[in-house]
Structure 1
């Protein structure tokens, strides 16, 4: 075709020239063939149309089936999604509920932990204040001459005791004094027997010595015989035995001695504080809290030192009283009858210092205040100068110092007590003092006041005043004062020099080191009170 187009001629296919010839030649013959072919093609087209219709019907049926399957699949998918959503919602709700419960439990545990820590902190603050008061009181007692003054008064009193007047000999109440002596001896014997029995029982557990057990049985038999002994016979025996009268007087003298009683009360207070400190240390270890551990150790060390010092002072005072007794026995007349009974009656009838000061004119409330402050040695000064509450309202610290009351804590306590009782009288005095001190510039207040500067120290009680138990500790609970070794018996022994109260009597015998701090044990002190 490209060649014809290049030559400029039109191309005509051969079919245009041959077809008419073929048609003209074979037209009649092919007409039948064409009809047959057309019928064949027509039948084929018919079959094709039928198959096409069948295919379309199959297609429609398949599409309907597919649509039904898709609907079922969609329905199953929807049901699955809804079930999955329900499961997720239930899981989410359960998770929220569990998280809420866990958070509530955590908040409750945190609140409980904070509450316990707050109670521990309050107990530590209370113990710290009491220990600081004890340390200040001990320092104040060291500076004052109370013990020397008491010893001098005892010497003068013993000189008067050695001289017995005829009037006292005539007024001797023999039966009454003998009954008092019998009661004193029974009490002293019972206490000594219980202590000795406890000591022998401890030795028997360690050594299992039959000899000690026999000795213990003898002592118990002796104690039982004293209890079974008729009271009248005991009194008659005391009336005859001068040595028993002397022993009874010695026991009463030890009981009435103010210095020895003060030392006993101080030892009792320190033992209680050491027990509370040990409970605090154990509680802090259980709470895994290491705060203020060094402060507790310092306080416990200071209390242990004070306890050892007081034990030495008690032994020294008992030795002094024994020397006084020996001096009285040496100066007593050999032919003097009922010497120790008269001395016992004189000591029994002796009025306490507070009562003598009340009879001298000192107000009862003022006497009680000085007794609470452990400052009875200032009572004669107040009685001599006839100081009353109204007079205290018009006095200052310098005025009290001029009278002889040199301790600042006692001065402040007296002035505060008078101000609380008569505030309207002391108000004018305070305004006058403020007017006088206007030219002087006040010192700036400390931004962090200490506890010792805020709280007024409360000295320990004296022998003349009853011991008031402190508030119950917030740490009281099961196991708080148990023996840390056997966990069955309460703590009964103080270890020195560490000061821990953590073991019972039986477990402490086998220990060489303290189970809490691992320090060496040099001395054990048995606690016979709660």
Structure 2
């Protein structure tokens, strides 16, 4: 750029760099300054050749610039003069306005002062008038207060006269009331005397009445004493009659009791025979069942394969046959190894899938173990054919041990209760409390009576009215 630079026109520009003195020296001075600053500038020689031309041109331009500058300065000065003249005109106008405003303010101030003077004169005249009116009011008030004082004095005098009249009237009324009170006291005293006389008469009459009542009461007491002696004699006779009647009733009850004891013994014998017959029937049935299962066992033993049951004990096979699981014997060769604890899972493993068969085999195993334990302890020796005979003998001994006077429920206490209408004497008192609906030997219970003198309870049913009437006539009984 600087190589092709020929002229620089700075019209109307203010250059800060390069400095102004270098710029005024021309283009060559500017280029030299730039070269000294480290900027390479060639063709300076060519520029020196044209320096003269440039100087001429610059001079012309400078002159033109100076002319233009002078012209602008003149214009500017003229503009400033115009502004100053305008400012002076405005200042004059402002001073005139201020003077006018000052005169207006002075006029207004004088008006305000005049109004204040007028108001002050009005206020003074008003104060004078009010003072004059106040003097008149004070004079009028003084005159009215004097008149009021006179009227108040007259009123006080009148009130005093009225009080004196009222006091005199009250005094007269009090004297009249005292006279009335005196008359009333006299009348009351006379009435009290009359009432006392009447009360005295009534007291005398009451004393006579009380005396008559006392006399009647004494007569009545004497009469009651006489009647009491007669009643004692009658009561002694009635007691003698009741004693003889109760003795006869007791004798009748004892007779009935003995008869009922005999009937009860007969009934017990009949019951014993029935029980013995039932026991014999059960023994026969059990014997037949035992023979049937033994025959089944014998037939099974005959038809069993060789070597199948060599590992099983005959007692275990017998219990299996009694339990009804003979068809499971081919699966039970390992059963002795499972004892004493045989479970359903063990039986399922050996091929027994039916639940009823498993239960029968477990029952047979438990019976077999029980029999082995009993044989080992030597406490009882059980034989299947002789079981029915031993049971029969036990039942017979039990029935034969029942006495005619023992309770058929507990077999410990004596019989103390008679059940009616069946007439069975078969229960003690404690057991009869537990038996509330029916006789231990036959029918239903309706009622119970306790005879304390006989220590016997009679339980009465609705079919025995004769004994019901008999017990109601007895004096010493308690019903429950």
Q: Could you tell me the TM-score, scaled by structure 1's length?
A: 0.21
Q: Which has the higher contact order (CA 8 A, sep 6+)?
A: 1
Q: Could you tell me the TM-score, scaled by structure 2's length?
A: 0.22
